[in-house]
Structure 1
Amino acid sequence: MGANELTLVLGGTGKTGRRVVRLLTGRDLPVRIGSRSGGVPFAWEDPATWEPALEGVRAVYVSYYPDVAAPGAPEAIGAFAELAVRSGARRLVLLSGRGEEEAVASEKALAASGADWTVLRAAWFAQNFSEGYLLDPVLGGQVTLPAGNVGEPFVDIDDIAEVAAAVLTQDGHTGRVYEMTGPRLLTFTEAVAAIGAAAGRDLSFVRIPADDFAAALSAEGVPDDVTGLLTYLFTTILDGRNSSVGDGVRQVLGRPARDFSDYARDTAATGVWNRKDAR
């Protein structure tokens, strides 16, 4: 890509998207944020917002909300990809989910568009413990989830963003699927213990039945579709299918993926796990 070619970052105010934006703008590359909360208005459920966001764009970071495994995601991603190609945005980089059969349908829809596509198939985000739905439980001292004693290669989303920025701006990645994971497996018990050690706090992990997890989310006012999706993800893809380490970070960046202990140390240093106002 040329230095003046515009990149659209969907979900550009979200966890991965804002990091991609920061990396690209740090290289003085032109970026457009597509989001419901900032930049150019973009909403997956409103196709009328797609074409204006794509005007003059040559590459797109495609992050689907709430998840590529959600109902309707393949159809929306396929339609958007076809429009992007017609609009001249041929390079499409999709953030996908590891071990999600439904996500594969979204990947296939992307490829069927005729785009120069790349897929970043990610494990569980380490930052879910500090920037997502697991922050409140960490602050409360106990993380309660329907996750068993299964190893997960938690990925640092700084690595995802760095890989995405490289793939968006460099040639040689068309038609590739990169497995985005950390360098080792940890159970949720081990991950929570690592956070507790880094933050100097007494944290515990408790496994609960899926029905109790769903009921607790509903009681907190979480929408039914999000509750259903989270319950599905915890009970389905944490069955051992993802208990292996991928090499996508090294393939693209030529270095090892960041370890969970590095994430825990650096995040603890910010104080986010020790501040009551972080809730």
Structure 2
Amino acid sequence: MIVVTGATGNIGRSLVGRLLQDGAQVRALTRDPSRAGLPAEAETVRADLTDASGLAPLLGGAEALFLNLAAGGERSAVVVLDAAVKAGVRRVVLNSSVAVTDSPADETNFIARMHAAVERAVRASGLEWTFVRGSNYATNALGWAASIRETGVVRDAHPGAQGVPVHEADLADVAAVALLDRTGAHAGQAYVVTGPEVLTVAEQVAEIGRAVGREVRVERISEDAAAEAIAGPHLPKAAARELIAMFGSTVDRPAWPVSDAVERVTGRPARPFAQWAREHAADFS
């Protein structure tokens, strides 16, 4: 049995499907099973990841756990991890971030600090572990969807910021291989998982335009305006400013190089952003 947190998120949904294809038993944790829309073959159950007392039955009989901070944040992730240890789970695959570098730089921004803290907790748990350190998610582009639909314009502080956007299905595939590992080959590995090419924000927007068959352009705005736009309950304004500034630092060079981890782990190349844009064209139309 493999337990998947964040099962209805972009990565989790792909992961549940991939694990089922590989013949695994899957217990998918979600806040509202009635709206999950997951395959019937998965055991979809309601979960409050902040309630330690209610987690034991959800983790009972599980051999492996996919832990995603997006399912409840850093504190909930640690609660789930502690419950997994008590339930006898053997292996945890953590959906982490490429921002984690195992250096003092991990304290310089919100994203790195949060993920590094959970990585430390996982290492200390005594469980067999694998970290999937994803680069900027292709799905982050969905934040532009409303603006593209309504105006054909994306407003961004740094149109020239460079990234290596990774498809959610590639992150799920790498996680699935590690979760299903019977050889120990992936134990103790921290995989930096990126897309196959460096693209600027403007180039990503252009790919989306090609996918939807119309011109889409980028309009530059201030860092303050950009931070205001992305700040919210799970991303404080100060953290949003840190993130926007970090994007700005990638205009001259990408923050990280292209990785071959997807091909090394799964045996096939990473999916390009153009493919992602075509698959998600309806979200921008």
Paired position in structure 1 for 2:260: 247
User: Is the CA contact (8 Å cut-off) linking 1:147 and 1:235 kept in structure 2?
Assistant: no
Match of 2:233 among 223, 235, 243: 223
| 2:23 matched residue in structure 1 | 28
Alignment partners' CA distance in 2, 1:108 and 1:182? 26
Q: Which runs of 5+ in 2 are unaligned?
A: 34-43, 100-110
- Matched with 1:17 is 12
Q: Report the counterpart of residue 90 of structure 2 in structure 1.
A: 90
Tell me the residue number matched to 1:107. Answer: 119
Q: Percent identity?
A: 32
Shift in CA distance, 47/86, structure 1 to aligned 2, threshold 3 Å: closer
Unaligned runs of 5+ in 1: 1-5, 275-279
Greater shift, 96-105 or 237-246, is seen at 237-246
Report the Cα distance in structure 2 between the residues aligned to 1:48 and 1:233, rounded to whole angstroms.
Answer: 35
| CA–CA distance in structure 1, aligned partners of residues 239 and 145 of structure 2 | 19
Q: CA deviation at 1:167?
A: 1.1
Shift in Å, 1:158: 1.0
Q: Report the alpha carbon displacement of residue 231 of structure 1 after superposing the two structures with TM.
A: 4.3
CA distance in 2, matches of 1:19, 1:224: 23
In the TM superposition, 1:115-194 aligns within 5 A as 115-129=127-141, 132-140=142-150, 141-171=152-182, 172-194=185-207
The amino acid that maps onto 2:31 is R
Change (3 A) 1:101 1:267: closer
Q: 1:204 aligns with which of 217, 220, 224?
A: 217
CA positional deviation for 1:262 = 2.0
Q: String of CA shifts for 1:76-109, please: whole Å, max 9, x gaps.
A: 4344323312211121001111214312222121
Shift of the 161–106 alpha-carbon distance from structure 1 to 2, 3 Å rule, reads: same
Over the aligned positions, Cα root-mean-square deviation in angstroms equals: 2.3
Cα distance between partner residues in 2 of 1:160 and 1:21: 12
Q: Aligned equivalents of 2:47 and 2:148: distance in 1?
A: 32
Question: CA contact under 8 A between 2:5 and 2:71: conserved in structure 1?
Answer: no
Instruction: Check conservation: 2:68, 2:77, Cα contact below 8 A.
Output: no
Would the alpha carbon gap of residues 185 and 87 (structure 1) be closer, same or farther in structure 2, given more than 3 Å must change?
A: same
Q: How far did residue 121 of structure 1 move?
A: 0.4
Between 184-193 and 97-106, the greater mean CA deviation after superposition: 97-106
CA contact (8 A) 2:15 2:172 kept: yes
- Structure 1 distance, partners of 2:267, 2:179, is 16
SS of residue in 2 equivalent to 1:262: helix
Aligned partner of 1:120: which letter? V
User: How far apart in 2 are the matches of 1:184 and 1:215?
Assistant: 29
TM-score where L is the length of structure 1: 0.83
Secondary structure class of the residue paired with 1:34: strand
Alignment size in residue pairs: 257
Once the two structures are overlaid, the 10-residue window that deviates more, 193-202 or 114-123, is 193-202
